[in-house]
Structure 1
Amino acid sequence: MKRLILASNNKKKIKEMKEILKELDIEVKSLENENINIDVIEDGHTFEENAKKKAKEIYEFLLERGDKDFIVLADDSGLAVEYLNGEPGIYSARYAGEHGNDAKNNEKLLGKLKNVKKEDRSAKFICQLAMFTEAGEYYKVTGEANGYIIEELHGEGGFGYDPLFFFEPLNKTFAELTSDEKNEISHRGNALKELKKIIVTLL
């Protein structure tokens, strides 16, 4: 069976992606599952540059290792707030300086939006997927979800900015959604739905 290797070490992100891709006839593996200890430096200027770089480095490693029957998928995603000219954008995971410190990142975002009225707090989550097949074919897909930033954290689920990102059609923050609800409407869910159509043609 062909393997789809997720070029990520983010356990929560991997869990979401595995759930969304579970009905595909393909083994979904993390870098840890594959004994790949590579931390790709994300120094691109766009979500696509970062995602493509991650996917390409893992793809090249697998080729060198002599692996067969694989596809590599990388994701770079983040939050863009209109009032802040697209911040935190590609720096979403390290907005407050330390990579992956959700509490500090959320605190910094709330500080920057202090006293900003609701109509100016619109934001979107962006997910950029980059995929390399074993033959070196490159595919890319972008997914988005629109909402706005509330003034205090709500909900215990999700990760990152989910407790601040309010999704009006369901009247909840992303952190208040069930995993099924989130996977149905999130930026990552939207991108992976499109990517699934491509993966099916490669199996």
Structure 2
Amino acid sequence: MIDFSAAAFRERVQKAFSQDSEHAQAPHDKTPIKDLAWHEGEVLHLKDAAVLIPIVDRGNEASIILTQRTDHLASHAGQIAFPGGKVDDHDASAEGAALREADEEIGLKPEFVDVFGYMRPYVSSTGFRIFPVLCTVREGFELVANPGEVADIFEVPLRFLMDPDNHQRKSAEWRGKMRHYFAMPYGDYYIWGVTAGILRNLYETVYSP
């Protein structure tokens, strides 16, 4: 039986990273993972973004905080997302950008967050180079959705998201081309696209045999 506590997750991540020399590199130097929907030559310039992968310490069963974006946003409207957003010029690092955005979007204060690593950058077909920042979150925090950006905040058990039986591979036509993507339906929430792709990469890095 796999231990899905926050402490066990962190230990597994650090073990996986210790076996891959590239994970010791700075975030911008890591080899990026390309989205399943990616087509070469389609995106000429990438914009940097950063997201938190917030693993909440819930005792024996950790969970991950996710949000549902509002329907009027310019990109990924209505979709399930990690807390995070674009890296601004005044951000000192991707980690700083992710922490700032998480505070602005859902009121997750940095004092409850313990950052301990970066996944490889994730390149999306929509033109973003996303830096996933791994962290644990201790209990006691209070979240408040920014109504201009976030329609809902919820948690999904880490055990569910790291189970490959819950990872569906889908395809659809978009911008005149057939695209592939992962989906992880959870109750009333349809986790798919970039968020599901990052979660799949997390599974392959930490839990895949």
State the TM-score, normalizing by the size of structure 2: 0.25
- Give the number of the structure whose residues are more often strand, by fraction: 2
- Give the number of the structure whose residues are more often helix, by fraction: 1
State the TM-score, normalizing by the size of structure 1: 0.26
Higher-Rg structure is: 1
Highest RCO, 1 vs 2 (Cα 8 Å, sep ≥ 6): 2
